[in-house]
Amino acid sequence: MFNFAIQQGFATSESYPFKNQFNASGYNMAKLKVGYNPKAMSETDIVKFKNFSFADKPELEDTFKMALFIYYARGINIGLWL
């Protein structure tokens, strides 16, 4: 989006917020990288999760179903889809 604004003349290359040849002090996405440490839920936690009651929170039913699908699909990372 910002690149398009530069192309259309609404912004300058020097105002680009990310680090590049025009803005050496810009924001660097590489600083966000952290190690990945997956942790499995215990079997008792899975049983508790499956027995969750929607009586008080019916709005969580779709989220629950998606999380259960991810569990059955062996940990698909849907963070890429959101």
Q: What is the pLDDT of residues 28-56, one digit of tens each?
A: 666 667 777 767 777 888 888 888 888 88
What average pLDDT does range 7-11 have in this prediction? 86
The one-letter code for the residue type at 48 is K
Same domain, 69 and 53: yes
Rg (CA), the chain: 22
77 against 69, higher pLDDT: 69
Same domain, 57 and 71: yes
> 56 lies in which domain range?
35-82
Same domain, 48 and 76: yes
Same domain, 77 and 42: yes
Q: Which of 17-26, 31-40, 54-63 has the lowest mean pLDDT?
A: 17-26
Does the pLDDT at position 23 exceed 80? no
Task: Report if pTM > 0.75.
Answer: no
Q: Pick from 80, 81, 76, 68: which is nearest to 38 by CA?
A: 76
